[in-house]
Structure 1
Amino acid sequence: MLRFKRLNKNRSEVLVMSQDNSILSLLNIKDENIEISQVENQIRYVGGEKRIIKVLHGRLTYRLTRCPQCGFRSIVKNGTRLTKLRVTSLTGQETRLHLRKQRYLCRNCGQTCGAHTPIVTPNHSITNQVRIRINELARNSLTAEMIAKLVGVSPTSVQRTIYTGRKAFLEHRRLPKILCFDEFRSVHSTFSFICIDAQTHNLVTLLPDRLTKHIVDYFLNQYSLAERQAVEAVTMDLNAQYQHFIHRIFPNAEIIIDRFHIVQLAGRALDQARLAILHELSDHRCRHYKMLKSQWRLFHRNESQLNSQRRQFKRGLNEYLTDQEVVDTITDQFPDFKRVYTSYQTILHAIQEGDTAALKALINHYQPIQSEMDTVISTFRKNWQGIKNACCYQYSNGPLEGIIRKIKQLKRGCFGFKNLAHLFIRIKLIHA
């Protein structure tokens, strides 16, 4: 006998629990009609592999007074039927419950029936606890084969548990006031559309492609004009496709360009200018080449974060220099690069501080220098309202990018998907 002490608010009491009940409690089986009679280890060979399985022998019985068919009090016991159930394990070892269910016979109508337990669905051998465990592991981006090994079932049973009865596409939901738009690579190298709530980060919809017609038709057919007019803003990247139809769907919405993509575009222009200088320098051992090659991160850093007091050893240069000395050496030697670097720093500062006046002044007074920064400024000029809103609003596509990163991790862990519906179901499980 096992003794457990339970502390109550008013007094303490001692509960007496039998060994059978303690086994059921460890397995989280709460059916009091099940009694465990024996526990043993059995050796089985699966695909030539030796496995030791923990087997629990139990019995399910209870008093049945009336026949479920005719309702008469003429029911008697009529033997048992053995069912082999898969249950969860505490140690990772496969565990089976060989349960003998009581059978009953009605002497009035001649019908037979069996005892039922809430731990498993009728006519199934996988318990509800195992199904819950399968869904929990599916949220961790594991493959069906890996989940099957962890819970002790077949990969087909895992797929049937995950995908059966679930809809791939999201049901109609309330339209949030702030939306995030983006796309991700789904199956067969195609891109799918994803939309989330910018405030709660809940999924709004998943569409199998990113065609303008399908996106527009979805929102026009699923939501009324009043719901679409209530949308205040939509955050997105610099994809011009979405900007063309946003106001057709959401007449009152503001377009917010994601701040990360703004800085990323300017950073790429800075890298292109740096690489152009590296290609022009024939002497790869010269000091300037080594600075541009090994200390490239310093040029992407905010000027206010550069160390200008303490000299540090710079790998690749084999010199003790401050961060500011490295940047000043390059900008003094290459005037065109200095202009690109100055423009990048202005953009970085304006985005971080929300200084729309400085950003507008840069766009208005910028002089082309035949570099990638010319294209960046031209893009900013065309998308000025969205970039201005990025400085004024706190919303961004950061939460959506995090979800897309999880989707990429899921695809990588599962070695890709061929079925789009299966991918969407797994995405819904992860984001549930």
Structure 2
Amino acid sequence: MMSQDNSILCALDIKDNNIKNVSVSDATIENRGVMKHIKLVRADLSYILHRCPNCGMNTLVKNGKRVTNARLASFNGKEYHMILNKQRYLCRNCDCTCGAHSDFLIKNHTMTNQVRDRIFDMARESFTLSSIAKIIGISPSTVSRVLYDNITLPSRCNRLPENMCFDEFHSVGKIFTFIAIDAQTHQLVELIHDRLSKTIIEHFINKYSLSERQSVKTVSIDLNANYQLVVHRIFPNAQIIVDRFHIVQLCSRALDQVRINSLKRISDKHSRLYRALKSNWRLYHLPLAKVDDKNIEYVFGINEYTTIQNVIDIGLDGFPVFKEVYDTYQNIQQSLENQNIKLLSETIHGYKKNGTAMDTSISTLRKNLKYVENSCIMPYSNGPLEGTIGKIKKLKHNSYGFRNLDHFLKRITLICA
């Protein structure tokens, strides 16, 4: 009998040797007018207890049992309810009563620690409250109460990391929330309810001492000029790194805009030049190392057997200005990939205006040249932070948005933990 009890308890992941006489049966219950088929687990909870927890005297005697209904976590999709007969004790000295207790139970709750842990596990995977409630078999309000009442937003992190990433994301309504993470461990550092420079500066100055803020060495940001002022104000010794992705993206958009303007100047929409620029636009974004100039293959769009390099040359030879922009884009991309700060500086300083969108992009890089060069020689970027924001967007998408900012921030701290 004991081996059978142990097998059932092991299957239910209950690690309490004081639970005995375990049996499992099928049952049907009615929940809000809906008939549900569940698994009913019956067991006894009893152990030897001599001293009274109230007076401390060795005068306890058994005094019947109390039946409690506890909810267990499911492992096959069905609800598991446990009818537990808990031993009661009476003190002959002070007439106080007490009962047997198990660590897997929550005092004064029908929910067990198993169910609570399952709620947090599913919440970390960006499940919605209604989905968690449906899978576990409890009400959404219970899930909400378990999650939001047991999570507190930290006022500050224990220690500021030496390398950080800054960005913001669209949270609730029209609010943009500021987020900062550790560039090395990818752990969440700060969540601030808005992205205003004043709010961010006041938060860091009030929460962290000057010596703590001086320990920060680098901060990775996008090309947001406001963040540059914020970093200089709160982290006196930190170097700013402009994210490499945003640099390439800035030049890539300029390249596309010049290509589209070139297409508009072609009157024959069926010409070889038009099809090379229109259908095969992705080829112009390939790094030079990936451009094949030897192997001949069938290229859709122009519908010819040729090399990738030849298709690119068709578009570049037709528009010399587009070729200048293309060369500039490739030099910047190549310098960032190979950490060639000399090529990067020569490309930005040696660029001559040609009346295209690339003029604005290069002008922006010149204004931030020191920070752009840091991105070329330092290994940190906003890549980990973009991944974290991706998780946040997934949570927001699954939940069809949030109305309560506090609840949203608590869910973020949970999935980023």
State the superposition RMSD in angstroms. Answer: 1.5
| 1:196 CA drift (Å) | 1.0
Query: Deviations 1:242-279 (Å, cap 9, x if unpaired)?
Result: 11232221111111100010000000000101111223
| 1:116 CA drift (Å) | 1.2
| Residues 32-111 of structure 1: pairs in structure 2 closer than 5 A | 32-111=17-96
Q: Secondary structure at the match of 1:164?
A: helix
Identify the residue that residue 159 of structure 2 maps to in structure 1.
174
Tell me, yes or no, if structure 1 residue 255 matches structure 2 residue 240.
yes
Aligned partner of 2:381 among 396, 405, 408: 396
Identify the residue that residue 12 of structure 1 maps to in structure 2.
none
Tell me, yes or no, if structure 1 residue 431 matches structure 2 residue 416.
yes
Tell me, yes or no, if structure 1 residue 301 matches structure 2 residue 295.
no
Contact 1:170 1:204 in 2 (8 A): no
| 1:48 CA drift (Å) | 4.6
Identify the residue that residue 162 of structure 1 maps to in structure 2.
147
Q: Following the alignment from structure 1 to structure 2, what is the Cα–Cα distance between the partners of residues 238 and 51?
A: 56
Report the CA distance shift for 1:42/1:340 in structure 2 as closer, same or farther (over 3 A). same
Q: Following the alignment from structure 1 to structure 2, what is the Cα–Cα distance between the partners of residues 230 and 327?
A: 48
| 1:66 CA drift (Å) | 2.4
Q: What amino acid does structure 2 have at the position aligned with 1:114?
A: G
| 1:170 CA drift (Å) | 4.7
Contact 2:68 2:84 in 1 (8 A): yes
Contact 1:179 1:235 in 2 (8 A): yes
With normalisation by structure 1, the TM-score equals 0.93
Aligned partner of 1:381 among 343, 351, 366: 366
Q: Which ranges in structure 2 are unaligned for 5 or more consecutive residues?
A: none
Contact 1:87 1:127 in 2 (8 A): yes
Aligned partner of 2:121 among 136, 140, 159: 136
Q: What amino acid does structure 2 have at the position aligned with 1:35?
A: K
Tell me, yes or no, if structure 1 residue 413 matches structure 2 residue 398.
yes
Identify the residue that residue 363 of structure 1 maps to in structure 2.
348
Percent sequence identity over matched residues?
50
Tell me, yes or no, if structure 1 residue 275 matches structure 2 residue 264.
no
Q: Following the alignment from structure 1 to structure 2, what is the Cα–Cα distance between the partners of residues 171 and 90?
A: 38
| 1:47 CA drift (Å) | 4.3
Q: What amino acid does structure 1 have at the position aligned with 2:164?
A: L
Q: Following the alignment from structure 1 to structure 2, what is the Cα–Cα distance between the partners of residues 311 and 170?
A: 61
Q: Secondary structure at the match of 1:84?
A: strand
Tell me, yes or no, if structure 1 residue 197 matches structure 2 residue 163.
no
| 1:398 CA drift (Å) | 0.7
Q: Following the alignment from structure 2 to structure 1, what is the Cα–Cα distance between the partners of residues 154 and 61?
A: 50
Q: Secondary structure at the match of 1:45?
A: strand
Q: Following the alignment from structure 2 to structure 1, what is the Cα–Cα distance between the partners of residues 226 and 83?
A: 60
Query: Deviations 1:169-188 (Å, cap 9, x if unpaired)?
Result: 45332111111111111111
Q: Secondary structure at the match of 1:77?
A: strand
Q: Following the alignment from structure 2 to structure 1, what is the Cα–Cα distance between the partners of residues 264 and 63?
A: 89
Query: Deviations 1:388-426 (Å, cap 9, x if unpaired)?
Result: 111111111111111011111111111111111211111
Query: Deviations 1:197-243 (Å, cap 9, x if unpaired)?
Result: 11111111110001001111111112221222222111100001111
Contact 2:169 2:176 in 1 (8 A): yes
Contact 2:205 2:234 in 1 (8 A): yes
Q: Following the alignment from structure 1 to structure 2, what is the Cα–Cα distance between the partners of residues 302 and 68?
A: 74
Tell me, yes or no, if structure 1 residue 264 matches structure 2 residue 252.
no
| 1:360 CA drift (Å) | 1.6
Tell me, yes or no, if structure 1 residue 315 matches structure 2 residue 300.
yes
Identify the residue that residue 116 of structure 1 maps to in structure 2.
101
Q: Following the alignment from structure 1 to structure 2, what is the Cα–Cα distance between the partners of residues 250 and 427?
A: 25
Aligned partner of 1:226 among 201, 206, 211: 211
Identify the residue that residue 147 of structure 1 maps to in structure 2.
132
Query: Deviations 1:291-341 (Å, cap 9, x if unpaired)?
Result: 112111100001221111112112222211211011111111111111111
Identify the residue that residue 127 of structure 1 maps to in structure 2.
112
| Residues 240-251 of structure 1: pairs in structure 2 closer than 5 A | 240-251=225-236
Q: Following the alignment from structure 2 to structure 1, what is the Cα–Cα distance between the partners of residues 231 and 335?
A: 26
Aligned partner of 2:333 among 348, 351, 372: 348
With normalisation by structure 2, the TM-score equals 0.96
Q: Which ranges in structure 1 are unaligned for 5 or more consecutive residues?
A: 2-16
| 1:135 CA drift (Å) | 0.8
